[in-house]
Amino acid sequence: MGIRLIILLVVTLPMGFVTLLLTMRAWRSQQLVNAARSWQSAPGTVIAARVEQVNIPVRVQTSTSTYRLATRYAPVVAYAYFVNGTYLQGGRLRLGPRVLSSEAADAGREITRYPVGSPVTVWYDPQNPVDAVLERGGGAVWIEWLICWLMLALTVLAAVLIYG
């Protein structure tokens, strides 16, 4: 087996597979954002707003471990709304992946737009009213697409370098 084939099997094909998985995830997120454009609205009320501390594993090389926990912060807003006379509660700000911040102040700025007791417009899926958001925009879906394009470029570059 030639070195080029080995590199192809070990590097390029796994990169292509990861790119495919990331693209499928981005596509699903984009489809949800597109579908939300036809969601209906209902008046709601903010019932809680806080900054949540989240500990996530971060890859680092130390003498005892390859991971450490890093603290990140997320805005959390809970809201109540009525659909067809049914009382519902939601907690999702926007569609797409949840964005975490390394600074509590950044997440805090986001929740200042939603003081407890304030009225809000809740956007909900008419087929499943429990599926609701306060912001219909795409959130960080563009980041998913950016990562897909970067992975695709790296995969193509690896293939070109291998087969020249």
pLDDT in tens, the chain (164 residues): 677 777 777 777 787 788 888 888 878 777 777 777 889 999 999 999 999 999 988 877 666 667 778 899 999 999 999 999 999 999 998 876 677 888 899 889 989 999 999 999 999 999 999 999 998 866 666 677 788 788 888 877 877 777 66
Residue 45 C-alpha from the chain's centroid: 24
**Shared domain check, 67 and 113:** yes
Tell me which residue range forms the domain holding 31: 1-37+137-164
Structural domain total, the chain? 2
| pLDDT for 1 | 60
**Shared domain check, 105 and 78:** yes
**Shared domain check, 49 and 125:** yes
Three-state DSSP class for residue 56:
strand
Three-state DSSP class for residue 131:
strand
Quick one: CA dihedral 98, 104, 109, 113, positive or negative?
Answer: positive
| pLDDT for 45 | 98
C-alpha 24/C-alpha 18 separation (Å) is 10
| pLDDT for 63 | 67
Nearest-CA neighbor of 75 among 58, 38, 45, 100? 100
**Shared domain check, 47 and 33:** no
Q: Which residues contact 149 (CB under 8 A, 6 or more apart)?
A: none
**Shared domain check, 145 and 122:** no
C-alpha 14/C-alpha 26 separation (Å) is 18
C-alpha 144/C-alpha 22 separation (Å) is 7
* CA 67-105-140 angle, 5° bins: 70
Phi-psi sector, 96: left (phi>0), alpha (psi -120 to 50), beta: left
